[in-house]
Amino acid sequence: MPCASPTPRVITILGATGTGKSQVCKFSLVSSIGPTLTDQLAVTLARRFNGEIINGDALQMYEGLPIATNKLPVAARHSIPHHLLGCIRLEEEPWTVRKYVHQAHYAIQNITSRGKIPIIVGGTNYYVQSLLLGGVVSYEENTEHMCSEEQEKKWPLLGASTKEMMEELKRVDPRIARRWHPNDRRKIRHSLEVWYATGKPLSEIYDEQRKHLPDGLADARLHVQQEVVSSSNPLPFVDPLILWLHADLEPLSTRLEKRVELMVENGLLAEVDTIHNLYQQQELAGHTLDPNHGIWIAIGYKELLPYVLAAREGGANRKVLEDLKKEGITRTQIVTRQYAKSQVRWIRLRLLRSLNDRGMSNRMFLLDGTDHSKWSQEVEAPAIHLISDLLEQKPLPAATTLSEKARDILRLSEAQELHAHYCECCEKTLMNEDQWSSHVKSKRHKRAMNPKPDWLLMHRDNRNKPLDARLD
């Protein structure tokens, strides 16, 4: 049995929403109603290795709404304690990174003091990354008790359009501005918050913290990421083991579409109604609400709300209601696929790069969950083997040797840079070297660079010209 330690070993399971099996699973590496394979794997490992689970998903911290937040059903937890799950009232603001890290450290200490293994199940990647690698932007100490309305009163530009905020960010911190997509309001706003709260550009803060990386990493390249930075303190855990559950995009998209349909069948519409009732109650009570934070960003709420309101009010004919419902489901499926892609991008372009900068890329192992008929041999068995070796202090294999897919994806991720490129010809922003390289080779870009002559227009123009001019 493992003993408590001031620098405990922790196991972390990460992945995109929907990487699980639709018949058995539900959130974070899932595809339908029921336990997610991420959570299911965590429960299997906790039962085998005497562990307890710590939730790393911001929405699952809210109480109730088991379908909208994709919580693992109590029966599927097999009496394994789950920490930081359903611990926030629905009307509350989401926790800051600092608060999450503080509460998660407390849970880890509690678990290890009883000789058990903490297993972190992620979903909100910047929470988990801050917890694992340490360091949270210090400006939060000055702003974490301020709601969005208070921040905008103090710094009015934070309430301006995304374009206006980006122009200001280019002025005060051009290095950071180059790293964000011009439509990514959250990151742009956050970067300005840091500037206003500290009087320093975020890039300068990262430069200062980069100087305090552990010995041997002083020359590591600057790695900027939202609310997560390098820390001058030692890493909080010894030998963290990160299991990345991965699935190929095409089968993952199919699962996500089926999962949304099952969520609707099993009560998601009623939960959307509940969320909207709460929103209205808070507005009537005079509270200023930010629809882009908290429980209001649960996938499906905004997308299905038009149908829910029309059905509640009555008066709409059956065809209109059916169309609204179909459109809401389609939009929810699209947003879910986009969210899954963003989770994968974070892992590849942020978490893995942070691990690389610390010489720790061999602490993250990719497990291929694409084919659920091979779940036991390609996910569960390798995970058990890795954890057994870790606890027995045996050497772990190189992460790229676990499978061909692990080799290909991990090496590709290591080679990618996070840097925005803007193609003026196509009026398109690309966020890394891989996307930029693919874009400049695309037919769309080549057509824009070398448009075909409009022969009809030239013919019309030539009709009014003298013969000599037409030959020129």
- Work out whether strand 428-432 and strand 418-423 pair parallel, antiparallel, or are unpaired: antiparallel
pLDDT higher for 401 or 150?
401
pLDDT digits 0-9 by tens, 240-255: 899 999 888 888 888 8
Q: Taking residues 383-411, what's their average pLDDT? A: 88
pLDDT digits 0-9 by tens, 347-388: 887 788 778 766 777 889 999 988 888 888 999 999 999 999
Q: What is the predicted pLDDT for the residue at 37?
A: 64
Q: How far apart are CA 63 and CA 92, in angstroms?
A: 10
**Angstrom distances, CA of residue 48 to CA of 12, 25, 387:** 15, 20, 10
* % of residues, the chain, pLDDT over 70: 74
Q: Taking residues 170-196, what's their average pLDDT? A: 86
Of 28-32, 69-73, 82-86, highest mean pLDDT = 82-86
Q: What is the predicted pLDDT for the residue at 170?
A: 92
Q: Which of 112-126, 194-208, 223-237, 298-312 has the lowest mean pLDDT?
A: 223-237
**Does the pLDDT value for residue 455 go beyond 60?**
no
